[in-house]
Amino acid sequence: MQNLTESQYNDTFTMLLKLSQERGAEEAARALVETMRSEERYPELFEARKMLHRIELGLPPVHVPGLQGGDNERSESSKLDPQVQDELDKRLLDACREVGSGLMRSGRLQEGWMYLRAVGDDAFAAQAMEGIEPTQENLDLLLNLYVHEGIDVGRGTDLSLRMRGTCNTITMLDSVVAMRGRADQQAAVGALVRHVHQELLANLVADVRRRKPEVQGLDTGRIVDWLGIMPGLLRDGTYHLDTTHLASTVRFARVLDNSDTLRLAADLAEYGRQLHAQYQYSSEEPFADLYPMSLAWFRALLGENVEAALRLFRQKAESLDSQEHGTIGIETYADLLARVGRASEASKFLMRAMPEGMRPFGIAPSLIELASISGEFQPMMDHAKERGDVLGYAAALLQSRVKT
């Protein structure tokens, strides 16, 4: 936004002076706000709104430390009536919303985020960024805001896939998304699974139709159906997508709960299971046999062959050496139990199997989470008491008293 001309400045000065003299400070401040808003001078708009809101609440338009009473040590907020301070904070947060979203719309992303970060509303920030057209010039900043700042990790992953490709996106997910909460992980991984499945399916369909022109009319979105048309297609080393990308996507997909994306993930794992032995990459336990174990996992979460999968992962949990692998097998089995609706079993297994003093990986829900889901707090209380864990005992005891 260009600076005001000298004549416009004079007009504004005259207006403010006249209004303050004839109608008071509040009307002058309100006029200043409208001027800054109409001219899209967003940082100045914030300062104008701050002055207005202070006047509205009976405060001086500008806080000058030490002006009232000469006390430079105490902040203004410590002197204000709590209700006045609370109302001022609310109005200033609303000003942050207006100014931040305005800056975002005008392409000043970093400045806009300075204001929107204070609001703490990622959904609002994501909405404010909806109209921004990604370019090579602003891509890094957009990805930083969407993914690293966590405004909308799913949208950021989609954007990275479109503009940077699968390889760079997988690298980003490995370094960033693993540190975020489950909801952000699922949004990002869901985007990756859909992208990789679509790309693999398109390549596979083109290859099958080239080899078998008679199947031109077939219409199915399942990879396994197309593989069924040509059994053994992959045995000679044929593949239709970078196999390391496939392996990484299947590995990431274990966090998914959504049935639609889980079916896509299972489809990818079935394709991977049929690849030539040289592409059967080893993974970390208990998914060392990456594709078969992942397929069992996805199907169990879809409600298919649940008991068989539980036996498989329990065997892993009980056989993996905790000195070599830590508690990953135990936690993975407990996580599967919880996710198929057996929180009580998961809790009892963890209490029995987790070695005392060994740091968990954080894969499984905590005991208090499992007790809250199942509504069974007494086993955790007994377990905590047995181990001298006063805090754990108190958590279970007090949580059991909460009405849900």
Task: Encode pLDDT of 14-46 as tens digits.
Answer: 889 988 888 999 999 999 999 999 999 999 999
Q: Estimate to the nearest angstrom the gap between the alpha carbon of 28 and the chain centroid.
A: 44
pLDDT value at residue 377: 94
* Residue 123 phi, psi (nearest 5): -65, -40
Mean pLDDT calculated for residue range 116-127: 91
Mean pLDDT calculated for residue range 216-225: 83
User: Nearest to residue 316, comparing CAs of 293, 299, 298?
Assistant: 293
DSSP 45-100: HHHHHHHHHHHHTTS-SS--TTTTTT--SS-HHHHS-HHHHHHHHHHHHHHHHHHH
Q: Estimate to the nearest angstrom the gap between the alpha carbon of 40 and the chain centroid.
A: 32
Q: Residue 403 — very low, low, confident or very high, per pLDDT cuts 50/70/90?
A: low
Mean pLDDT calculated for residue range 37-64: 92
Q: Estimate to the nearest angstrom the gap between the alpha carbon of 200 and the chain centroid.
A: 25
Structural Rg of the chain based on CA atoms = 29
pLDDT over 80 at 215, yes or no: no
Do residues 141 and 109 lie in contact, with contact meaning Cβ atoms separated by under 8 Å? yes
User: Nearest to residue 121, comparing CAs of 143, 138, 101?
Assistant: 101
Tens of pLDDT, residues 375-401: 999 999 999 999 999 999 999 999 998
Do residues 265 and 253 lie in contact, with contact meaning Cβ atoms separated by under 8 Å? yes
DSSP reduced 3-state for 113 = helix
pLDDT over 80 at 147, yes or no: yes
Torsion sign, CA atoms 331, 337, 338, 339 = positive
Mean pLDDT calculated for residue range 176-190: 88
C-alpha 105/C-alpha 97 separation (Å) is 12
pLDDT over 70 at 203, yes or no: yes
Q: Which two tokens stand for residue 150?
A: 């966590």
Q: Which amino acid, residue 152?
A: D
pLDDT over 90 at 263, yes or no: yes
DSSP reduced 3-state for 284 = coil
pLDDT value at residue 131: 83
Q: Which CA distances in Å does 89 have to 39, 53, 79, 124?
A: 25, 10, 15, 18
Tens of pLDDT, residues 125-137: 999 998 889 999 9
Q: Residue 70 — very low, low, confident or very high, per pLDDT cuts 50/70/90?
A: very low
Q: Which residues, listed in sequence order, are joined to residue 289 by a DSSP beta bridge?
A: 282
Do residues 164 and 233 lie in contact, with contact meaning Cβ atoms separated by under 8 Å? no
Mean pLDDT calculated for residue range 337-348: 96
User: Nearest to residue 172, comparing CAs of 139, 197, 204?
Assistant: 139
| Contact residues for 232 (Cβ-Cβ < 8 A; gap 6+) | none
pLDDT over 60 at 340, yes or no: yes
Longest dimension (CA), the chain: 91
| Residue in the structure block whose two tokens are 């060994």 | 358
| Contact residues for 47 (Cβ-Cβ < 8 A; gap 6+) | none
Average confidence score pLDDT of the chain: 90
Q: Which two tokens stand for residue 120?
A: 């703490």
